[in-house]
Structure 1
């Protein structure tokens, strides 16, 4: 499996380095509808095991049956998590949108990023092959 992974990374690196077109940003690509984007994000979040592990690991610590405040601390934790998560995701979307527009307008930067990514793929493939157990 290790050798197959290393060769796959090398293959990705070589094809990325030899690509004439940009593989990072394609202006010809059809835009997805808002509904498709939402469903893709929802599925990614729901099927992410890290989210479930986070709640299963940390949530029970905040539930105290003898708490005189009742469910209030639990609700406060939920509101805090949703608020900070929403703000983070909005900032991420704004930054990503700006970066995408920047890359679409500058094909030279995108071409350079392709070369850097191809080199990184190749280096990772070599690293995987040379790592001892």
Structure 2
């Protein structure tokens, strides 16, 4: 079993990494501002469900495929970039009705949850990051490496829920306040669309 002191150090490192601006927390921020804090929390749950995929991939060794196969890496990031561009197109086309007067998203809960999952699992850099980061806190002398990877992955997910959840609540409250202005909603949509395009380009330019 992983010692508590090592888990504590690892948890603090995870919190710092979750706070550093990246595709996931920026995605949470934009979606929360666009759709409201409840929608933002659903996106957070989706993103963290996607992290289960990456954790399992590392534990099973599948992540090595994305690190060694140029084709697999390229196909996955192309799918992620295409999805981000699709979201950008939707944001640019949206009017001023993303959030109603009660701060409730026009999108369904399942759609928001799936949006978070797809956003996360189509970023191959997450699996590669996990492959490089998690083993630093594992030790074969403590038992099964696969189980240790799963434990470390769940701790990372916990830190992500805390940080991303805070971002969703803060940005969602701001978005719900701005939703009272139709003009502000239009500008939020345009800003979000621009952010999505930027994230798509960044993902396409990402190298292993």
Q: CA deviation at 1:96?
A: 2.2
Q: CA deviation at 1:23?
A: 7.7
Distance 1:25 1:102, change over 3 A: farther
Distance 1:102 1:76, change over 3 A: same
Q: Secondary structure at the match of 1:105?
A: coil
- Structure 2 equivalent of residue 39 of structure 1: 114
In the alignment, structure 2 segments of 5+ residues that lack a partner are: 1-91, 100-104, 192-208
- Higher-helix-fraction structure: 2
TM-score, with normalisation over the residues of structure 2?
0.36
Alignment of 1:1-133 (within 5 A): 26-27=96-97, 31-65=106-140, 67=141, 69-71=142-144, 74-107=149-182
Specify the structure having the higher radius of gyration (Cα): 1
Question: Aligned-residue CA RMSD in angstroms?
Answer: 3.5
Equivalent residues, number: 93
In the alignment, structure 1 segments of 5+ residues that lack a partner are: 1-21, 118-133
Larger deviation, residues 44-53 vs 24-33: 24-33
Cα distance in 2, alignment partners of residues 25 and 51 from structure 1: 33
Structure 1 runs, 4 residues or longer, greater than 3 Å off: 22-25, 71-76, 106-111
Q: Is the 8 A contact 1:25 1:103 kept in 2?
A: no
